[in-house]
Amino acid sequence: MIISQFQTVGRDLFTRGLVSSHSGNLSIRLGERIIITRRDSMFNCLQEHDLIETGISKNNRSTPLASADLAIHRAIYRETQALAIVHAHPPHAVALSMTETEIVPSVEGLTVTGTVPVVDWKMEEKLRNLANTVARTLKQHRIIMVRNHGSFAIGQLLEEAYNFTTALEQSSQVLCLTRSLQVNPVKQ
């Protein structure tokens, strides 16, 4: 049952081009445990061995196999009520994150995601600092962008976090197309 949730969301993220063959990660919280995708797993064909179970606060034997973003997932679960996280690399949203401090989706997207803040990420910044920044920001938002990197969406289910991710990307695509046409959208 759990694997089918990961497979459905993973395959859809890959098919929509929101992750490359070995990028992104998914997780769910089960009490004080996390089930997270394995480091470098392939989202289009996730299998049981691609799901790593570990603690929110404690490591175990399988922890080294977990996604490189495990620290971020742990921080999010400690700071929010989220039960699921989707981390993706939606290309239009990533492009907008390079020039914007927040992404304001179209009316339809805005009702789903709200305004999406863009948090800064510097390569020399330690992962712990990024994890804390992402977690703090997600206390007040459903989805955020890390500048020039990707999105982190939270929800009560993987499907809910996936919905926020696709809504952000669809709105970002419309914003990018509008800008490429050099059209000023009509304010409502």
pLDDT, tens only, 77-113: 999 999 999 999 999 999 999 999 999 877 666 677 7
Q: What is the pLDDT of residue 129?
A: 84
**H/E element, 183:** none
pTM: 0.91
Q: Could you give the domains of the chain?
A: 2-180 (3.40.225.10)
What pLDDT was estimated at residue 117?
95
Q: For residue 24, what pLDDT is reported?
A: 95
Going through 63-172 in order, the beta strands assigned E by DSSP cover 84-88, 102-103, 116-119, 143-146, 150-155
Cβ atoms within 10 Å of 163's Cβ, excluding its own: 19
The model's pLDDT over 23-44, given as tens digits with 9 standing for 90+, comes to 999 999 999 999 999 999 999 9
pLDDT bucket at 186, cuts 50 / 70 / 90? low
